[in-house]
Structure 1
Amino acid sequence: MKPEEFYHDGSRDLQRRFGSEQLADHLAHRYVLDELEEGHAEWIRGADAVYVATIDPDGFPECSYKGGLPGFVRVPDLRTLEIPSYDGNGMYRTLGNAAAVRRVGLLFLFPALRAKLRVNGTCEVLTDRDALHPHHGAEAVLRVGVTAVFENCPRYLHDPVTGEHSTHCPRPGHRPPDPDWKLKPEYDGLLPAPRSEQIEDRIQESNR
């Protein structure tokens, strides 16, 4: 995806401030897709949860956890997802936002994978019999038209089995290791200076 289509001025300003503009351009060009890959589709078919972000008509955000048995999120094709809505508290905050604004952001975490997958798209809320039929127990279906797909660095994920916190989490007296992706040759010359160096540079600039 073209960086100018993926980033807005707010993101660009922070990228310039923290020296990551070249890295961000590279990631958008190479890793942000406009449809799912087959591997992503298989991940989603095995997922038992998804976090759904929406906005209301006034622009305020909402984030909701949706869970089910593995396979509850259907992937009819690589540009479409279907998320069932089961019986809940009757507030319909997420579905109401989706019906009103029709934009959605999804975050998938996978029990057996050290991976994070983000999916953005348009959406519609369906309640007709044909839409509900493939989703046992659903009272509505959130159908998502995929517009952007990208994996996120998983370094801060904690171990769901042992409960151990990620070794990448900053803490006093601990130097977190570099994530594996930063060691790949494709990132040579693209990574910003370490945060400590950036802070020191700013202190020196402010003292001039």
Structure 2
Amino acid sequence: MTIRDTVGSVGEHELQREYGTADRAARFYSDQVLAHLNPAMIEFTGRQEMAFIATSDSRGECDSTFRAGAPGFIHVIDPHTLAYPEYRGNGVMASLGNIRENPHVGILMMDFVHDLIGLHVNGSARIVEDPELRATVPDLPDDHSGGRTPERWVVVDVEEAYIHCRKHIPRMKPVTTKRDWGTDDTRRKGGDFFDAKATSRESPRGATADSKVVVPDPAPRRRARRTAAAVEK
């Protein structure tokens, strides 16, 4: 069994063959993809102040969200396990709801300031209440930005960890600013910035399903090719 057989999705490998990148991808899998966090990854995670979290429900409907906190808010429990806190929010529970249906989660941590590098962590997640996790993880951080207290944690069993190269990562400069952590004040949270409250829930005037731009979908062709290949076997 080769690295190509054990890392990546079926779709990845199909496209690598179609576009002629299989050898290049195999080198990346072999050189960069780990099934745990090594010391350099643990150190990097421990100083991050933000992360982007991707989840999907049981039907594959996706959600991407942002999480932030003081350095170390993403806590590495051991090389195979990390946890990030869930604070009081808008009550929608979009990410947690997805995790309840589908445990697969993707985390992207990006250093825009110092190293200009990123770390992907993919794995299987579960929801653990704060007191329960503290009972088993004594060094779980309790010093959170603005005095916020986690209500619960998302514990992730690491399945893949790999680099996001710095080629297109912009350099940013942090500035000191006051943040209203945990506020329920609409204005201080950003208010109705995108004017959604006053926007009709109906489609814009004149916009119908028939007026959408038709983009070619090669999926039927791909399915036909796979079916043909199966018949040949």
Is TM > 0.5 for Structure 1 vs Structure 2?
Answer: yes
Paired residue for 1:168?
none
Paired residue for 1:142?
154
Measure, in 2, the Cα distance between the counterparts of 1:112 and 1:36. 20
Paired residue for 1:113?
115
The 3 A distance-change label for structure 1 pair 44 and 128 is: closer
Post-superposition shift, 1:16?
2.3
Residues 14-163 of structure 1: pairs in structure 2 closer than 5 A:
14-110=15-111, 111-131=113-133, 134-136=140-142, 137-161=149-173
Post-superposition shift, 1:39?
0.7
Measure, in 2, the Cα distance between the counterparts of 1:158 and 1:4. 34
Whether the 8 Å contact between 1:132 and 1:141 is mirrored in structure 2 is no
Measure, in 1, the Cα distance between the counterparts of 2:164 and 2:49. 19
Paired residue for 2:4?
3
Deviations 1:150-206 (A, max 9, x none): 1022201111139xxxxxxxxxxxxxxxxxxxxxxxxxxxxxxxxxxxxxxxxxxxx
Deviations 1:69-92 (A, max 9, x none): 111111111111010011111000
TM-score (norm 2): 0.66
SS at match of 1:64: strand
Measure, in 2, the Cα distance between the counterparts of 1:123 and 1:62. 15
Q: Structure 1 residues 13-22 or 93-102, which shifts more?
A: 13-22
Deviations 1:6-53 (A, max 9, x none): 223321222123321100011112211000010100100000011111
Measure, in 1, the Cα distance between the counterparts of 2:19 and 2:162. 21
TM-score (norm 1): 0.73
Whether the 8 Å contact between 2:72 and 2:141 is mirrored in structure 1 is no
SS at match of 1:98: helix
SS at match of 2:162: strand
Residues 172-183 of structure 1: pairs in structure 2 closer than 5 A:
none
Measure, in 2, the Cα distance between the counterparts of 1:151 and 1:115. 7
Paired residue for 2:201?
none
SS at match of 1:59: coil
Post-superposition shift, 1:130?
3.2
Measure, in 1, the Cα distance between the counterparts of 2:44 and 2:8. 26
RMSD, matched Cα: 1.7
Measure, in 1, the Cα distance between the counterparts of 2:110 and 2:155. 19
The 3 A distance-change label for structure 1 pair 40 and 52 is: same
Measure, in 2, the Cα distance between the counterparts of 1:129 and 1:9. 40
Give the aligned length.
162
Measure, in 2, the Cα distance between the counterparts of 1:160 and 1:16. 37
Residues 180-191 of structure 1: pairs in structure 2 closer than 5 A:
none
1:151 counterpart letter in structure 2: I
Q: Which runs of 5+ in 1 are unaligned?
A: 163-208
Whether the 8 Å contact between 1:132 and 1:138 is mirrored in structure 2 is no
Measure, in 2, the Cα distance between the counterparts of 1:60 and 1:132. 32
